[in-house]
Amino acid sequence: MNWTVPLSDLDYGLDEEQAVLTVLRSKWLTMGAVTQQFEQEFAQAHGAPFALAVSNATQALHLACLAIDIGPGDEVIVPSLSFVATSNAVLYTGARVRFADICGPTELTIDPAEIERCLTPRTKAVIVMHYAGFPCRMPAILEIARRHHLAVIEDAAHAPGAFLDGKALGTWGDIGCYSFFSNKNLSTGEGGMLVTHREDLAARLKNLRSHGMTSLTWDRHHGHAYTYDVVDLGYNDRIDEIRSALGRVQLAKLPANNARRARIACQYWSAFSAAPLTLPFKDQYFSSAESQITNHQSPSFHIFPILLPPGTDRQSFADRLREVGVQTSLHYPPIHTFTYYREHYPGISLPITEAAAAREVTLPLYPTLRPGQIERVIAATLHALEI
Ligand SMILES: *Cc1c(COP(=O)(O)O)cnc(C)c1O
């Protein structure tokens, strides 16, 4: 399909090309100096003491679960309104998930009261997901976690460069996991990052990332180590220097690109203010986003969700946008409704998640969206609603 307005697009240019060439010519391709620089810069930009680059966010979530010793017999509370990797990561360890509902149709993030409802004596952790880069209710969630001795993992795949009360999303809990998949705010094709403020977890994660080995090829190449021991059941979840080089360039562009996303989201919000749509997060963030959000309170505007009026035929709505070249998507079919999950977790009902997900459509949002494209999306959406 040749979309006039695709759902997302990369902001890639000469700087990315140059960064890749430099790595190729250096002839050091796997984790090394560039990856270390990327980790340091990412840590600094997010105010995180430790950052570890990995192969993707799915594995970041998996390693996060392993680092806090989640395994068979444990339960982890997760939102169902997320990408399936949020929940799969728990299942890889042999633990089980409990699905929590969201706050409501205008706040599509996990409801803290639902975390309390899902608690059992087996609950070991909660994974929260900052939907579209809008913060979950972290103070309330951390308070519940403290009271019940739960670890908190943040699926911050949507949220690099996003802040709540001046603190980066991903750094509120024990471990934060970011994705650098091609359609994410910071993209390297495939890639991810783990952050933590706990030195013990950082050491464990570093080990798990590379076969549980006590030294890396890089260390041995530089004479820092000659042999190694294997002290944990680790994996190969490393990133490579080409992706880290792309990540450094993209990280430098992130604040300006997130601000562009905020401006476009505000344009959508004002254009749709009289339309019969539910606009998630608008009432909470419209004014602050318009006034050029500071680093203090800034979502990352990863995607732009709208909820159609109840009863609208969503497929025909999407078809009408497709006819004028506008691509849309769904975020998300709830995890508990997938066949695999229905078989392993039968009889789950999450009324708020199910109602919101059934009405949700995601419109194109990315920093390089041109004014004419934005107008086309707005006009097509308003027109499709009138029919
Ligand atoms: C993209 C995404 C992931 C998985 O990230 P990968 O880097 O593709 O493994 C996990 N959770 C959420 C919410 C995502 O959007």
State how far the Cα of 378 lies from the Cα of 19, in Å rounded to an integer.
Answer: 36
Mutate which of 61, 155, 169, 194 for ligand 1 pocket (most atoms within 8 A of beta carbon)? 155
What mean pLDDT comes out for the span 248-262? 97
CA 185 to centroid of ligand 1, rounded, Å: 12
Spot the catalytic one: 184, 206, 253, 282.
184
Higher-scoring residue by pLDDT: 277, 221: 277
> Is the separation of the CB atoms in 65 and 76 below 8 Å?
yes
- 40/168 same-domain check: yes
Token pair, residue 301, equals: 């505007």
Could you tell me the two tokens for 107? 């706040």
What percent of the chain clears pLDDT 70, i.e. is strictly above it? 98
Last residue of a domain, one of 217, 233, 248: 248
H-helix or E-strand spanning residue 307: strand 304-307
Question: What's the pTM?
Answer: 0.97
**Is the model's pLDDT at 217 over the cut of 80?**
no
Same domain, 179 and 290: no
Q: Contact, 152 vs 141, CB < 8 A?
A: yes
Do residues 213 and 265 both lie within one domain? no
Q: Quick check: helix, strand or coil at residue 310?
A: coil
**What is the crossing angle of helices 57-67 and 85-92, to 10°?**
40
Please check whether residue 1 lies inside any domain of the structure.
Answer: no
The range of the structural domain enclosing residue 37 comes to 14-248
User: Same domain, yes or no, for 295 and 215?
Assistant: no
**Residue 54 CA: distances (Å) to CA of 64, 184, 334:** 11, 15, 27
Closest protein CA for atom 8 of ligand 1: 181
Query: In angstroms, what is the span from residue 358 Cα to ligand 1's centroid?
Result: 21
Domain-embedded: residue 209: yes
Judged by average pLDDT, the poorest of 222-226, 260-264, 353-357, 360-364 is: 222-226
Q: Whose CA is nearest to atom 2 of ligand 1?
A: 157
Residue to mutate, 58, 59, 158, ligand 1, most ligand atoms under 8 Å from C-beta: 58
Question: Are 321 and 193 contained in the same domain?
Answer: no
Q: Which two tokens stand for residue 222?
A: 């530089």
85 C-alpha vs ligand 1 centroid, how far in Å?
Answer: 6
Q: Which atom of ligand 1 is nearest to the CA of 184?
A: 1
Same domain for 176 and 41 = yes
Q: Please give the pLDDT value at position 331.
A: 98
Report residue 30 CA to chain centroid gap.
24
Nearest CA residue ID for atom 15, ligand 1: 157
| Residues facing 285 on adjacent strands | none
- In this structure, the answer to whether residues 303 and 326 fall within a common structural domain is yes
- HEC profile of 19-47: HHHHHHHHCCCECCHHHHHHHHHHHHHHC
Is residue 105 domain-resident?
yes
Domain boundary among 220, 248, 276: 248
Give the tokens for residue 151: 């670890």
The bridge status of strand 360-363 relative to strand 304-307 is: antiparallel
Q: How far is the CA of 83 from the centre of ligand 1 (A)?
A: 6
d(CA 193, CA 48): 11
A 10 A CB-CB count for 230 gives: 11
| Sign of the torsion formed by the C-alpha atoms of 244, 162, 140 and 130 | negative
Query: Of 248, 268, 300, which residue sits at a domain end?
Result: 248
CB contact burial 202-225 (16+ within 10 A = b; e otherwise): bebbbbbbbbbbbebbbeeeeeee
- Do residue 271 and residue 154 come from a single domain? no
Measured in Å, residue 385 CA sits from the centre of ligand 1 at 31
Whether residue 118 lies inside any domain: the answer is yes
Would residue 184 show up in a list of annotated catalytic residues for this protein?
yes
User: Can you give the CATH number for the domain in which 359 is found?
Assistant: 3.90.1150.10
Question: Minimum mean pLDDT among 101-115, 171-185, 220-234, 358-372: which range?
Answer: 220-234
- 153 touches 177 (CB < 8 A): yes
Mean residue pLDDT of the chain comes to 96
Band (342; pLDDT cuts 50, 70, 90): very high
CATH of residue 126's domain is 3.40.640.10
Residues 53 and 194 placed together within one structural domain of the fold: yes
Measured from the Cα of 58, ligand 1's closest atom is 9
Closest atom of ligand 1 to 302 CA is 15
**Nearest-angstrom CA–CA distance, 227 and 216:** 10
Mapping DSSP to helix (H, G, I), strand (E, B) and coil, where does residue 100 land? strand
Examine residue 54 and state whether it is found in any structural domain, yes or no: yes
Do residues 194 and 268 share a domain?
Answer: no
Query: In whole angstroms, what is the distance from residue 210 CA to residue 221 CA?
Result: 16
Domain count, the chain: 2
Contact predicate 303/280, CB 8 Å: no
Query: Residue 292 has what pLDDT?
Result: 53
One domain for residues 113 and 95: yes
pLDDT tens digits, residue range 293-320?
565 789 999 999 999 999 999 999 999 9
- Give the tokens for residue 337: 């409704």
Residue 96 CA to residue 76 CA, distance in Å, equals 6
Looking at this protein, which amino acid is placed at residue 263?
A: R
Asked if the model's pLDDT at residue 219 lies above 60, the reply is yes
Nearest CA to ligand 1 atom 5: 57
Is residue 129 a part of any domain in this protein? yes
30, part of any domain: yes
Q: Which atom of ligand 1 is nearest to the CA of 192?
A: 7
- 176 three-class SS: strand
> Pairing mode, if any, of strands 50-54 and 192-196?
antiparallel
Q: Which residues contact 210 (CB under 8 A, 6 or more apart)?
A: 31, 216, 234, 235, 236, 237, 238
Counting atoms of ligand 1 from 1, which one is nearest the CA of 60?
9
* Residue 206 and residue 318 in one domain: no
Give the list of residues 6+ apart from residue 135 with CB closer than 8 angstroms, or none: 109, 159, 162, 164, 169, 299
Identify whether 7 is part of a domain: no
Residue 216 pLDDT = 75
- Which residues lie with the beta carbon below 6 Å from any ligand 1 atom? 56-58, 82-83, 85-86, 129, 155, 157-158, 179, 181, 192
Minimal-distance CA residue to ligand 1 atom 6: 57
In this prediction, residue 92 carries a pLDDT of 98
Per-residue model confidence as pLDDT tens digits over 130-160: 999 999 999 999 999 999 999 999 999 999 9
Pocket test for ligand 1, best of 62, 78, 81, 83 (most atoms within 8 A of CB): 83
Q: Which atom of ligand 1 is nearest to the CA of 85?
A: 10
